[in-house]
Amino acid sequence: MTRPTLRRRSWRRARPGRPAAGALWRAAIGATALAARSSPPVLAAVLLLALLSGALPIAAAWLTKLVLDRIVDHQPGTADLIGLALGLAGASLIVAVLPHPLRYLHAELGRRIARTAQDQLYRAVNDFTGLARFEDPRFLDRLQLAQQAGAGTPEQLVAGTANLLRGVAVVSGFLGSLVTISPTMAVAVSLGAVPVLLAELWLSRRRAETALQVSPYDRREFFYRNLLTSLQAAKEIRLFGIGDFLRDRMRTERTRSDRARRSMDRREALSQTLLGLLGAGIAGAGLIWVVQAAGAGRLTIGDVPMFVAALAAVQGGLAGLVTDVTTTHHNLLLFTHYQAVVNTGPDLPAPGRPVVAPPLRTGIELDDVWFRYDDDQPWVLRGVTLTVRHGEALALVGANGAGKSTLVKLLCRFYDPTRGAIRWDGVDLRDIPATELRRRIGATFQDYMHYDLTGAENIGLGDLSTLPERARIENAARLAGIHDTLRNLPHGYDTLLSRTFMSGEENDTVRVGMTLSGGQWQRLALARAFLRNRCDLLILDEPSAGLDPDAEAEIHDAMREHRAGRTTLLITHRLGAVRDADLIVVLRDGRVAETGRHADLLAADTHYARMFVRQASGYREPEPALPQATE
Ligand SMILES: Nc1ncnc2c1ncn2[C@@H]1O[C@H](COP(=O)(O)OP(=O)(O)OP(=O)(O)O)[C@@H](O)[C@H]1O
C-alpha cells in the first residue's frame, strides 16, 4: 500500500518573499491576537495614552492661537485669558510628561509579547515529529526570520497602531485647522503624501525580500561565529590553526549580507531624498502664501503660528503615518514567516486512525523498506526485509555508510520509509502516534548529547518522571558504571557538568562546573537509556565506542543483564560484542547481505566471518618467525 508522505518539497515551492494580500491580513489578525493575548490591560493602556498624546498637541496649538488673538485684541488680564494660559500650561505639561510612562508601558508590552511569541514558536518546533525539517536549509532560513519576527512584530505592530492612532488624531485635528485657513493648502499637503506612501510600500516589500535574501548569509556567519567561540571546536581550531580561515569565511558571509543591505539602503536613501524635496517644496510655498496673506490682512496674527504648526504637524504626521503603515507592512511580511512556521502542521503524516502502541508481543517487522533522505538523494536502504523478534537481541553490523543508523532512525519514526512498511506487532508505525511509540523505546545514539546540566539531570532526561526519584537515577548510573564517578564529584549528582555555565547564580552560591571524559559521557548516555527500564525496545547504536577494554566488558555484561527478556537492537563495529546475539544481520549498501548466529556465520564463508577474523587478528601476537634453515 502506498502511504502519503510529507516531503520537504512544500518549502521548496514556497516564494516566501511575496506573500499574497490575504496572507498579510491573516498576519495582521494573528499578530493582533498575539498582542491581545499577551497582556490586555497593558495593551489598552498603551493605546489610550497614544490617543491622548495625539490629541494634546492640537489642543495646545488651538490654545496658543486663542491666547495670541486675545492679546492682539487688547484683552489682557481677563479671567478668560488666564484660564486659557493655564490650560495651555497644563496641556504642555502633560505633553512633556506623557512619553515616559508610554515608553515604559511599550517596553513592558514588548517583553510580554516576546515571551508569548517565543513560547508559541518553540512549541510548534517541538511538535515536529521527524527530523527532515531540521535538515532543510529553506525551512531553517524561514525559521530564522520567524524567530526575529515572532519576538518583534506583534510589539512593533502595537507600537505602529499606537503611532497610527496618535498620527490620525494629530493629522485630522491639524488638517481641520488647515482647512479653516486654506482649503487649497490642505488638499496640496494631503496629495503630497500619496507618492510617499506608494514609494514606502515598494521599499517595504524590497526590505522583506532583502531580509530573506540575507538569511542564509546570516545563518552561516552565525555558524562560523559560534565555531570561533565554541569550547568543543577550540581544540581543533587551535591545533590545525584554522581560526583565521574560519574568521575569513565569517567575514565573507558578512560582506555578502552587507552588500545586499547596502544596496537596499541606497535605494531607500535615494527615494527618500526625492520625497523629502517634494515635501519641502510644498512647505516653502505654504509659508510664502501665509506670510503674504497675513501682511494683506486676510489672516489674523494668531492664524500665522497656527498655520505653521498645522503645516508642520500635517506634513510630519502624514510622513509619520506613511512610515507607520510601511513599517507595519514590512513587519507583517516578516510575520508571515512566523505564522508559516507556527501553522506549518505535521512534518510526518499523523495517523488517520491512531492505534495505541501495544506492548511488544511478537516483534518488529521491516517489510521491503526502501529509504532515501530526499527525492534527489541516493537510496540508503534498498528493500530491507527483517524481523526483530520479541525478547531477542539482534545485532546489526556492516561497513561505514551501510545504513545502520538510518534504519534505527526509521524504527524511532524520525522519518517514514519512502517505500515499504515497518510494523510493530503487525501495526504500521505510521498508525501509532510518535510520542506513544517513543515511550516504548529506549536508545543511545551514536551522536549522543552532552547536556550542560547536572549529573542527575543528564540521566533523568531519559525519563522525566524520575527526576525527583534519585534512587532510580542512581540505579541506572550503577548499571552504566558511572555511579562512583558522579558520587565523587564535588557536589555529587548535583554537580553541574559544564565548563561554559555556572550553577547557583540565582542564590549567590556561584560555582563553576566540572566536565567528564569522553567514555564517562558515554556511560552517562547509557544510563539515560537504561533509565527506561520498562521500555519494550532498547536500541544501542555504538554504545561502547569510547570505552576502555575493562569498561567495555563491564558494560556489555551490564547490557546483557539489562536486556534480559527485552528486545534489543545493538549496532557496533566491535564484533566481539555481538557473539552472543540471537541474530546477527549484516547490512551492505542498504541491503541485508547475511543473517545468522555468530557460530553459523563464522562457519560459512561469509563477509561477517572475514570481518571478524580480520578484527580478531589485530589482537593476536604475530607468530614468532621460524629460524631460516641453513644448508
Ligand atoms: N541526514 C542525512 N541526510 C542525508 N544523507 C544522510 C543522512 N544521514 C546519513 N546519510 C547518508 O546515509 C548513508 C548511510 O548513513 P548511516 O549513518 O545510516 O550509516 P551507518 O551504517 O550507520 O554508518 P556508520 O557505521 O559510519 O555509523 C550515508 O551514505 C550517509 O551519507
Are residues 255 and 331 part of one domain? yes
C-alpha cell at 572: 557496533
Are residues 292 and 436 part of one domain? no
Q: CA quadruple 165, 170, 175, 176: dihedral positive or negative? A: positive
Mutate-to-test residue for ligand 1 from 404, 407, 447, 585, highest number of ligand atoms within 8 A of CB:
404
Residue 323 maps to a domain: yes
Mutate-to-test residue for ligand 1 from 371, 374, 396, 405, highest number of ligand atoms within 8 A of CB:
405
Are residues 222 and 115 part of one domain? yes
- For residue 410 and ligand 1, the question of a CB distance below 6 A is answered with no
Give one DSSP letter per residue of 38-81, joined into a string: H-HHHHHHHHHHHHHHHHHHHHHHHHHHHHHHHHHTT-TT-HHH
Atom in ligand 1 nearest the alpha carbon of residue 587: 21
- For residue 442 and ligand 1, the question of a CB distance below 6 A is answered with no
**Of the segments 69-73, 289-293, 425-429, 502-506, which one has the largest average pLDDT value?**
425-429
- Please tell me whether residue 538 adopts helix, strand or coil conformation: strand
Range of the domain at 223: 20-342
Residue 38 maps to a domain: yes
Contacts of 306 (CB under 8 A, 6+ apart): 61, 62, 64, 65, 177, 181
pLDDT band at 524 (very low <50, low <70, confident <90, very high): very high
- For residue 379 and ligand 1, the question of a CB distance below 6 A is answered with no
- For residue 380 and ligand 1, the question of a CB distance below 6 A is answered with yes
Residue 595 maps to a domain: yes
Spatial contact of 425 and 361, defined as CB atoms under 8 Å apart: yes
Span from the CA of 373 to the centroid of ligand 1 (angstroms): 9
Of 471, 408, 474, 485, residue with least CA distance to 444: 408
Are residues 134 and 39 part of one domain? yes
Are residues 387 and 301 part of one domain? no
Q: How far is the C-alpha of 594 from the C-alpha of 607, rounded, in Å?
A: 8
Residue 354 maps to a domain: no
Q: Which of 342, 375, 393 marks a domain boundary?
A: 342
Are residues 220 and 164 part of one domain? yes
CATH at 421: 3.40.50.300
Q: pLDDT at position 15, please?
A: 45
Are residues 374 and 334 part of one domain? no
Spatial contact of 415 and 371, defined as CB atoms under 8 Å apart: yes
Contacts of 144 (CB under 8 A, 6+ apart): 215, 218, 219
The β-bridge relationship of strands 537-541 and 441-444 is parallel
Residue 351 maps to a domain: no
Q: pLDDT at position 75, please?
A: 59
Mutate-to-test residue for ligand 1 from 373, 539, 572, 611, highest number of ligand atoms within 8 A of CB:
373
Span from the CA of 401 to the centroid of ligand 1 (angstroms): 5
- Read off the pLDDT of each residue in 79-97 and give the average, rounded to a whole number: 84
Q: Which of 282, 307, 342 marks a domain boundary?
A: 342
- For residue 377 and ligand 1, the question of a CB distance below 6 A is answered with yes
- For residue 154 and ligand 1, the question of a CB distance below 6 A is answered with no
Are residues 103 and 188 part of one domain? yes
- For residue 403 and ligand 1, the question of a CB distance below 6 A is answered with yes
Domains of the chain: total:
2
Residue 628 maps to a domain: no
Atom in ligand 1 nearest the alpha carbon of residue 542: 27
- Each residue's pLDDT tens digit, 375-429: 999 999 999 999 999 989 999 999 999 999 999 999 999 999 999 999 999 999 9
Span from the CA of 393 to the centroid of ligand 1 (angstroms): 23
Are residues 164 and 86 part of one domain? yes
Are residues 169 and 102 part of one domain? yes
- The whole-model pTM stands at 0.76
Q: pLDDT at position 321, please?
A: 76
pLDDT band at 192 (very low <50, low <70, confident <90, very high): low
Residue 488 maps to a domain: no
Q: Which residue owns the Cα nearest ligand 1 atom 30?
A: 401
- For residue 435 and ligand 1, the question of a CB distance below 6 A is answered with no
- Each residue's pLDDT tens digit, 23-42: 778 888 888 888 888 888 98
Residue 307 maps to a domain: yes
Give residue 329's identity as a one-letter amino acid code: H
Span from the CA of 60 to the centroid of ligand 1 (angstroms): 72
CATH at 180: 1.20.1560.10
Are residues 369 and 338 part of one domain? no
Are residues 250 and 112 part of one domain? yes
Residue with cell 503630497: 192
